[in-house]
A = this chain, B = another copy of it.
Amino acid sequence: MATPSQFLKFVDDNADKFIKRLGEAVAIPSVSGDGKYRPEVFGMSAWLDGQLQSLGVTTKLVDLGKHVMDDQELPLPPAILGRIGDDPKKKTVLIYGHYDVQPAQKSDGWDTEPFTLVVDEKTGKLIGRGSTDDKGPILGWLNVLEAHKTLGLELPVNLRFCFEGMEENGSEGLDDLIKTEVTKGKESWFDGVDCVCISDNYWLNSRTPCLTYGLRGLVYFKLTISGPARDLHSGVFGRMVHEPMTDLITIMGKLVTPDGTILVPGVEDMVPSAQDDEIAIYEKLDYSVKDVEEAVGAPITLSQDKVSVIMGRMRLPSLSLHGIEGAFYGPGAKTVIPASVSGKFSIRIVPPQTPEAIEPLVKKYVEQEFAKLNSKNKLKIENLHDGRPWLADHRHWNYEAAIRATEAVYKRSPDLTREGGSIPVTLTFAESLGVNVLLLPMGRGDDGAHSTNEKIDRSNFIEGSKLLGTYLYEVGAIKA
């Protein structure tokens, strides 16, 4: 079943109307990480629920309970479950998105009011908080629904929706909801789902569409060394006592080399080398050392070799030293010997690494290195949080459909990427439903999702809406 040309034309003809609706969504400051905006997050859930219902989707708002944030008990915004279509002859696609956004204030450095969608006619940018993360993609689905409803077209698949309002603040309550929902069998809103599609990440660059089939996991450590009962003056006690900072820096200096190699024994060995077919994917990517240099604003890549730089992010573990809690951090010169200092570092992990395998290696190594110091200070190492990596089969029909859709809409093959960060819900869907999950981004790599002046390009929003619809037709057509 080819994508009907009326659908594509409808999207073009209604572009301005769709952008206006995006403006309505952006105007609701649904910031989940700041308690005072919580009513707005609820407002956003009502708005979205209303849109879905008016487009023929049956919905259910699921109360996720309460949580405590900044010493305040707050109600969690509801998850919105939705269903449209129940044809046993069609595939069923589950769509995920989040209707909450990152905090934003004009004073952060925005050129325009963050919660007013500004259409820059010259550049084609649609600027506003949430435009690309993740209201644009959610509204892309609404655009697809509206086209079909208005044109009286039948959807090529059954659709299920799961939208949440806490993604930017740890997705609280969502994992439990998904895990509970899948146990309900025929009663489950996820019953019969054949694949999942998540549109909540970005192209590698600003030129080439991509599909994403992998995410790194993470283990975040807090390494605390304590000694004196209180901060000491270095004039009085320097070279009399074991200084916690000296111990901590010595150990932190043994975790990773300046070229990125992780020194914790066993961590690097766990990862198999890339095979030729995988390397071929990296070679084909529309991503250069120069792109990285531009993104970071300095020529500081670990290598000049494109594939090696890309593999560093996509298929190798990384260890970053984030900072130290408890030490002197202000400007100026303070001659303190801090009494207790905590180094923060994290390891991004890739399959087959798991937090369960990595954590004991790190703890053992840190404890061994500390023992070598013969220090009388005390060491404590904690895992602050972790998440498993995710890797999908990019030869699955779900990906094949997305590749065909991209080629149809953008007239080019998508990049096949793995991302260096994590989107935890991806893993939850993959593991709970046991189906293939596809990350199908709408925005570009320079959208500035969590930054000032967040934008989505008009063409990404409009062509992206066509892409989502076309993807559904390709899923409907493909032989599973």
Interface residues of A (CB under 8 A from B): 216, 218, 220, 222, 227-230, 232-243, 245-247, 249-250, 252-254, 256-260, 292, 295-302, 309, 312-313, 316-325, 327-338, 344, 346, 348, 373-377, 384-385, 419-422
A322 CB, nearest partner CB in chain B, Å: 4
Chain B neighbourhood of A259, CB < 8 A: 374
Chain B neighbourhood of A258, CB < 8 A: 242, 246-247, 250, 373-375
B328 to A323, Cβ gap below 8 A? yes
Chain B neighbourhood of A240, CB < 8 A: 292, 296, 301-302, 309, 312-313, 420
> Among B328, B348, B420, which residue has its beta carbon within 8 angstroms of that of A322?
B328
Chain B neighbourhood of A236, CB < 8 A: 313, 419-421
Residue from the set A240, A298, A318, A375 with the largest chain B CB neighbour count within 10 Å: A240
A282 CB, nearest partner CB in chain B, Å: 13
Chain B neighbourhood of A329, CB < 8 A: 323-325, 327, 329
Evaluate whether A318 and B260 lie within 8 angstroms (CB atoms) in the complex, with A220-B333, A329-B323, A333-B384 already known: no
Chain B neighbourhood of A328, CB < 8 A: 322-323, 325, 344
Chain B neighbourhood of A318, CB < 8 A: 234, 238-239
> Among B250, B334, B376, which residue has its beta carbon within 8 angstroms of that of A300?
B376
Residue of B nearest to A328 (CB): B323
**With A and B bound together, what is the CA distance between A259 and B257 in angstroms?**
23
- For this chain, the copies found in one complex come to 2
> Among B222, B256, B337, B421, which residue has its beta carbon within 8 angstroms of that of A246?
B256
A250 to B247, Cβ gap below 8 A? no
Chain B neighbourhood of A332, CB < 8 A: 384
Chain B neighbourhood of A330, CB < 8 A: 325
A421 to B300, Cβ gap below 8 A? no
A336 to B324, Cβ gap below 8 A? no
A320 to B334, Cβ gap below 8 A? no
A359 CB, nearest partner CB in chain B, Å: 14
**With A and B bound together, what is the CA distance between A422 and B316 in angstroms?**
50
Chain B neighbourhood of A375, CB < 8 A: 258, 300
**With A and B bound together, what is the CA distance between A335 and B246 in angstroms?**
23
B327 to A239, Cβ gap below 8 A? no
Chain B neighbourhood of A344, CB < 8 A: 328, 333-334
Evaluate whether A313 and B249 lie within 8 angstroms (CB atoms) in the complex, with A327-B329, A377-B300 already known: no
> Among B312, B335, B337, which residue has its beta carbon within 8 angstroms of that of A220?
B335
Evaluate whether A296 and B348 lie within 8 angstroms (CB atoms) in the complex, with A246-B321, A322-B328 already known: no
Residue of B nearest to A247 (CB): B258
> Among B220, B246, B252, B348, which residue has its beta carbon within 8 angstroms of that of A249?
B252
Chain B neighbourhood of A316, CB < 8 A: 239
Chain B neighbourhood of A377, CB < 8 A: 300
Instruction: List 16 contacting pairs A-B, 8 Å CB cutoff, sorted by A.
Output: A234-B346, A234-B420, A235-B420, A235-B422, A239-B313, A240-B301, A241-B301, A242-B301, A246-B257, A246-B258, A247-B258, A249-B321, A322-B337, A323-B336, A325-B331, A334-B344
A306 CB, nearest partner CB in chain B, Å: 11
**With A and B bound together, what is the CA distance between A246 and B343 in angstroms?**
12
A163 CB, nearest partner CB in chain B, Å: 23
Known: A240-B296, A320-B335, A325-B330. 12 other contacts (CB 8 A): A228-B300, A234-B348, A235-B421, A237-B292, A237-B296, A239-B317, A245-B320, A249-B253, A322-B333, A322-B334, A322-B335, A327-B329
Residue from the set A218, A233, A249, A324 with the largest chain B CB neighbour count within 10 Å: A249
A335 CB, nearest partner CB in chain B, Å: 6
Ordered nearest first, which 10 A-B pairs have the shortest CB separation? Answer: A229-B297, A235-B421, A253-B253, A323-B328, A238-B318, A323-B327, A239-B318, A239-B312, A329-B329, A234-B320
**With A and B bound together, what is the CA distance between A228 and B329 in angstroms?**
20
B245 to A323, Cβ gap below 8 A? yes
**With A and B bound together, what is the CA distance between A336 and B320 in angstroms?**
8
A323 to B324, Cβ gap below 8 A? yes
**With A and B bound together, what is the CA distance between A229 and B300 in angstroms?**
10
A378 CB, nearest partner CB in chain B, Å: 9
